[in-house]
Structure formats: C-alpha cells, structure tokens
Chain A
Amino acid sequence: DQQVKQNSPSLSVQEGRISILNCDYTNSMFDYFLWYKKYPAEGPTFLISISSIKDKNEDGRFTVFLNKSAKHLSLHIVPSQPGDSAVYFCAANAGGTSYGKLTFGQGTILTVHP
C-alpha cells in the first residue's frame, strides 16, 4: 500500500520556466511533509519542508504548497535551471507515535533543458 505517491515518473521543462512536481498521500495522520533532491551517485539532500498547519512555504526559488483537503502537495521551482535536473522525492511524517518514520514517494525525474 503506497501511502505517498508521485504519479509522474518524469518531467521535462525548459530553462527559465516553472517546474511543478506533485505528490499525493492517503494517510490523514501525516502532519509534516518534505522534499528531497537526489543526484546520481549521491544521497538525497533535504530541500524544503512544510508543516500541516501551513499551506505554503517558500525558500528562494522553491515553494511547497499543501492542500490538506485534497491530500496533495506540490513543489514549484521558479525559474528552473539545468542544475535542478535530478530525482525529486516527497516524504511524509505522521509524528506522534510514528516519530522518526518517514514515508517516501517513488520519485520524479526532473530534466531542465537549456
């Protein structure tokens, strides 16, 4: 049972345009969400996060939006740069007794063309 889903295996975007990566979840107990970026031959690196008490969090070119009623979050990258080409994973945490347990999506490969 995949509780966190990234339904788009890949996304291709032109440099300078917006990249939108999507993530859906099923567990209503999730209360904290994260995005990680992964380059080949490296471990994932933390990008941005959002608590369920917010619906938006912004950090430079990266913005994460959370729609709790739809159980959906998205990562916007504006403007996209070739160096953003990587695999992006969303992850969720339920807190409480599930403290420390992160559930990840399958990942989306983003390719930004010059």
Chain B
Amino acid sequence: EAQVTQNPRYLITVTGKKLTVTCSQNMNHEYMSWYRQDPGLGLRQIYYSMNVEVTDKGDVPEGYKVSRKEKRNFPLILESPSPNQTSLYFCAPGTEYEQYFGPGTRLTVT
C-alpha cells in the first residue's frame, strides 16, 4: 500500500527549540516537497527535492532547512522555531506534476 508517513503528527514547542519533522514514503518517488497550510493563504511550498542530494527553495523557505540523503526520507528542520511558524505542514512525494500528500503535522510554537 502506498504510504506517506509524517512524524510527529502534533507538536507544541517553544520559541528557539530546534525540531525536525520527518517524512518517509514507500512509493519510490524521486520528487518530494514540503508545504505549509495557513488560513486564507492556502498551501505554500517551503522546499522541494528532485532527487537525492538535490533540493531547492519553494515560495516560503525562510526559517526552514531540508536534507535529502536517501530517496525515501525528506526531513524538515526548524533550527530556531518562531510563533509565525505555527502551521499545518504537509509532506508530498510524487512526480514533477502530481503530488501525493501525507497526513499532516500540526505544529504550534509558543
């Protein structure tokens, strides 16, 4: 069964405390992406990766880092989270055109 796994699903943290949201896929897609969803703003792309060791910025990359050391995993790193990074985050592996979203991670930064 095709699966996209994100961990954690819910996280409440404090400003400045580094955190990592993991994403794993079993669909063997070369392409993976991270989005955040905010009310009234829809889905905005943070970073994407076209293959192992190849990443590029999306529309809102500030305050985030990513790495792609293996095909199945694409972690999102917040080195020093701030309250404006409170959001719903989605990982999305897929092709260059069609992407398949994970279940989401609800992050709250206080």
Chain A interfacial positions (CB closer than 8 Å to B)? 6, 32, 34, 36, 41-46, 49, 89, 91, 93, 95, 99-107
Contact = CB atoms under 8 A, between A and B. Distances in A.
B45 A103 contact: yes
A104 B31 contact: no
A95 B97 CA distance: 8
Interface string B72-110: 000000000000000000101000111111111000000
A107 B42 contact: yes
Contacts of B44: 104
Contact of A43 (B31, B41, B56, B90): B90
A89 B96 contact: no
B25 interface: no
Contacts of B43: 44, 89, 91, 104, 107
Contacts, number: 59
Contacts of A102: 33, 45, 99
B58 A34 contact: no
A34 B43 CA distance: 13
Contacts of B59: 103
Nearest to A5: B42
B97 A34 contact: yes
10 contacts: A43-B4, A43-B90, A44-B101, A45-B100, A45-B101, A46-B98, A49-B98, A99-B96, A103-B59, A106-B40
A92 B33 CA distance: 15
